[in-house]
Amino acid sequence: MIASAEIVFERRGVAGIVTLNRPQALNALSRFMVLALRRQLDEWAADAAVARVVIQAAGGRAFCAGGDIRAVYELHKAGRIDEAIDFWRHEYPLNAAIKHYPKPYIALVDGLVMGGGVGVSMHGALRVAGDRLSFAMPEVGIGFFPDVGATYLLPRLPGKTGTYLALTGNRIGPADALALGIATHRVASARFAELLEALSTDDDAANTLDAFSTDAGSASLAPRRALIDRAFAGANVEAILAALEREGTGSGDDAAFAREQAAVIRSKCPLSLKIALEQMRRGPNLDFNEAMRTEFRILSRVAREPNFYEGIRAAVLDKDNPPRWNPPNLAQVSEVAVAAHFAPLAEELAL
């Protein structure tokens, strides 16, 4: 076993086991964890004795709630933005390495999985949802954008559900995750330890997961799918809001849902919303590596703009008042400003 305060690596039978070990910080990813995980994955890829990799997390409350945005905020305050950007310069290639990993990469996901946690779990071949799985990409609420491969992942979900998740930042549970293909299996959390032991044997991993899997139950979004597909097909964020407002004029569950989603979207960062929708448009035509390079282009601009740090201040640090976005409304976000975030860089992300 190789251990640190933040991440633990273990060989058990034929499995290389990764445990995210910052439960007090909801297992938020630090730069150290990103670098250590990439090194270990490279070693295990070359080790014939390792048949598969399993990643899990300590604590129970969260698999991983994202990257360590407090640390990013402190680097910004200190004028060390290039150093902050360096975190993503390592994180995004890790996401790509997981997507292209030559051996089965199996994520046992329970509790919160958001942002960076999505990047180290949902691009693997097998994704196992526990009882408490709560998946979300809430970045537009803090002046950021859905990253760590969301440009590839979300547009490939059924209908317009990916756009819905990108623009609202709403959480979904295990039944919806399985229904949308975000998770591949549903296993009771109480059986995770037993499952880990079974995955350490020579038995076929997919067969083992099938044997442990249970019915996920009813997906809560299923009755709203037709509404989501209609409303979130709009050409721009304003059109999506207008569609939701039209749907919300009636009575019943669909109308109430539409009104709620419109209110949620209006609370998000206007520039982030328009960037996220553009990601959903471009994503279907990009392979995974192209999507990651696109996200690094966006990141390289967003990390130098005020909205991200204002969002962190308002949501994570001060928690005292709504964030003051710049621009403050959708009408003032131009197509030119959005397109500038997607422009090529002088130094593109190396993958």
Catalytic residues: 67, 116, 139, 147
Candidates 310, 246, 318; CA nearest to 272 is: 310
Task: Tell me how far apart the alpha carbons of residues 176 and 94 are, in angstroms, rounded to a whole number.
Answer: 26
95-to-51, 124, 147, 149, 166 alpha-carbon distances in Å: 20, 9, 10, 7, 18
CB of 149 closer than 8 Å to CB of 246: no
Task: Tell me how far apart the alpha carbons of residues 103 and 125 are, in angstroms, rounded to a whole number.
Answer: 9
222-to-185, 216, 323, 340 alpha-carbon distances in Å: 18, 13, 33, 36
Q: What are phi and psi of 75, to 5 degrees?
A: -65, -40
Please enumerate in sequence order all residues whose Cβ is within 8 A of that of 246, keeping only pairs 6 or more positions apart, or say none: none
What's the longest Cα–Cα distance across the chain? 61
| DSSP per-residue letters across 177-215 | HHHHTS-SEE--GGGHHHHHHHHTSSS-HHHHHHHH---
CB of 85 closer than 8 Å to CB of 60: no
Task: Tell me how far apart the alpha carbons of residues 79 and 24 are, in angstroms, rounded to a whole number.
Answer: 27
CB of 103 closer than 8 Å to CB of 50: yes
